[in-house]
Amino acid sequence: MQSFDRRQFLESAALIGMSTTLFPGVLYAQAVQDGELTIETITHAEQIAGVSFSDEQREMMLNRLNRNLTSYEALRGIGLENSVAPSQVFDPEMGRKEVPRLESRPEIEWTPTDVTLPASDEDLAFSGVAALAGLLKTRKVRSVDLTEIYLSRLRKYDGVLEAVVTLTEERAFRLARKADDELDAGLWRGPLHGIPWGAKDLLAVSGYPTTWGAEPYRNQRMADDATVVKLLDEAGAVLVAKLTLGALAMGDVWFGGKTKNPWNLEVGSSGSSAGPGSAVAAGLVAFAIGSETLGSIVSPSNRNGVTGLRPTFGRVSRAGAMTLSWTMDKLGPMCRSAEDCALVFSAIHGKDYADPTTLTAPFEWPIRKSLRQLRIGYLQDAFEEDHDNREADLSSLEVLRKQGAELLPLTLPDGPAGAMLVMLNAEAAAAFDDLTRSGGVDSLVRQDAGAWPNSFRSSRFIPAVEYINASRARTLLMQDMRELMGEIDVFVSPTFGGGTLRITNLTGHPSITVPNNFAPLEDDPTSNRRVPASITFVGGLYKDAEALAVAAAFQSGTDFHRMRPPIV
């Protein structure tokens, strides 16, 4: 073990101490002199942890803390891979089994309508899942031809958007030919049969690299497909590309560059589902699967003007997906419309024994309730306070009222949700502990104070006691949200207002983010480029269908989801 550099340690302690909201400190720092901790080490570590002990207490602690070092070395010798989950399982219901558990995923009662074949390949590419399902089932278009259209668009625009890590061409045409053969024979697997899609490149796909967007993993290959990939294969969908994500699921900067927003190439597509957001917006895939821990579906959906569903925690298996936070990671579809998201979700939700957090709960689409029958709330204070998209957000409420919704004012629970995110930081640091200790994080593109390398290092100094107390505080937040959502089915929120994003990611509630504005550029208002913005609908636990239904009703009264970016 390396000797203790006191100056370096104190500089690090000062840096971490600047971020006490997210990094409350450490009970002791793993800094040693001559191979062992000392009284002086404990004294300095107390300052990082925000605690204070007497000399007698420090002396008593010393032997135990030195023994702990031996335990840590033994645990590190096990070689824990990213896929190994903790023994504790996060339950958004906290043991209250109020939602019916089903043995198998229910079939939705959705049938495609007869759709006229679009006049051009570009119109076809922007048609969306629901329309493409009708075209494929009636054989007005073939999966092989559709696959070629999307692959051509991926090749054409990737040099501009930098949204693709790997094209899965051989696999795609094999599945497309199979889909056409089945459809020709009258076998219809459902609304995704023959439809090309893209996967955020944290989903394992055998035979192709799974890079996690990060230089240390750019040649990584997995032996098996992620569960979501398997389910979409079973549904007849055709994977055409593995799409970019910010390195290790942060932002839109990956080892190959920065993924662009097709509405304005001067800015990134946001993250971390950067490639899915950009590719769906640009009509490069019919839909994509993204992931969210703290905004990684919501933010790129907002930035790129697409529709993104973040399902209830535990409804979609994460087996075969990169882990960032075992208690917060979620997978979900990013599409052109809420209905498209519902059709994709219907194929991927359900129990998977490879992910112990999952269950199969009822999912009805289309739901049989009208907006008048749903209990819909809205965050009144968040809508009324000054924010960037205020006028469009208030107009969105009027759209819902015209559709028959009665909107009930409500307020989210008040509490230190930001402080609870210490759990995310600790879990992410644990998921990539080997990378941190080996120095592999030094090869990530981003090395600024807000990037993962600094977060992983800083999070080594989070005490276990503080992590557990954050979890206990999170329990209270979940209880408060359960009480609030007992009065309503869905609530509407400005996408980044009212604390919605933090709170609902911590509590596991589903949300769907849909475009509600495409504002001109401030510095070039005559340009055809735009700044997309969005509004968000949050459902009660396992009320994904209700949230989707309200979003679909909003989209039935607007045309924002049909907008197409200029790209170049």
Higher pLDDT, 25 or 142: 142
User: What are φ and ψ of residue 177, in 5° steps?
Assistant: -65, -40
pLDDT of residue 98: 75
Question: How far apart, in whole angstroms, are the C-alpha atoms of residue 552 and residue 427?
Answer: 35
pLDDT of residue 228: 98
Question: How far apart, in whole angstroms, are the C-alpha atoms of residue 81 and residue 100?
Answer: 34
- Which residues are registered as beta bridge partners of 334? 288, 308
DSSP per residue, 135-188: HHHTTSS-HHHHHHHHHHHHHHHHHHH--EEEE-HHHHHHHHHHHHHHHHTT--
pLDDT grade for 36, boundaries at 50, 70 and 90: confident
- Burial call 387-418: b when 16+ CB within 10 Å, e when fewer: eebeebbeebbebbeeeebebeebebbebebe
Closest Cα to residue 407, out of 483, 492, 487?
Answer: 492
Q: Average pLDDT of 432-437?
A: 96
13 phi-psi bin (left φ>0, alpha ψ -120 to 50, beta other): alpha
Tens digits of per-residue pLDDT, 61-75?
A: 999 999 888 888 898
- Read off the pTM: 0.92
pLDDT of residue 524 exceeding 60: yes
Question: How far apart, in whole angstroms, are the C-alpha atoms of residue 219 and residue 211?
Answer: 7
CATH hierarchy code of domain 121-415+469-562: 3.90.1300.10
Question: How far apart, in whole angstroms, are the C-alpha atoms of residue 413 and residue 415?
Answer: 6
In the numeric block, which tokens belong to residue 131?
């329309």
Secondary structure element (H or E) that encloses residue 96, with its range: none
pLDDT of residue 48: 87
Place of tokens 């039935």: 556
Tens digits of per-residue pLDDT, 163-206?
A: 999 999 999 999 999 999 999 999 999 999 999 999 999 999 99
pLDDT of residue 104: 93
Secondary structure element (H or E) that encloses residue 171, with its range: helix 169-184
Closest Cα to residue 497, out of 424, 376, 392?
Answer: 392
Domain boundaries, given as residue ranges, for the chain: 1-78, 121-415+469-562
Does residue 263 sit in helix, strand or coil?
Answer: coil
pLDDT of residue 14 exceeding 80: no
Asked if residue 324 lies in contact with residue 428, where contact means CB atoms within 8 angstroms, the answer is: yes
Question: How far apart, in whole angstroms, are the C-alpha atoms of residue 237 and residue 291?
Answer: 19
Closest Cα to residue 342, out of 543, 183, 120, 68?
Answer: 543
Burial of 522 (0-12, 13-18, 19+ CB in 10 A): exposed
Asked if residue 108 lies in contact with residue 365, where contact means CB atoms within 8 angstroms, the answer is: yes
Closest Cα to residue 291, out of 193, 347, 234, 212?
Answer: 212
Place of tokens 């990956």: 254
Place of tokens 């550029």: 521
Burial of 181 (0-12, 13-18, 19+ CB in 10 A): exposed
Higher pLDDT, 123 or 9: 123
Tens digits of per-residue pLDDT, 277-324?
A: 999 999 999 999 999 999 999 999 999 999 999 999 999 999 999 999
499 phi-psi bin (left φ>0, alpha ψ -120 to 50, beta other): left
pLDDT of residue 94: 86
Secondary structure element (H or E) that encloses residue 431, with its range: helix 422-431
Neighbouring C-beta atoms of residue 49, cutoff 10 Å: 22
Question: How far apart, in whole angstroms, are the C-alpha atoms of residue 477 and residue 360?
Answer: 25
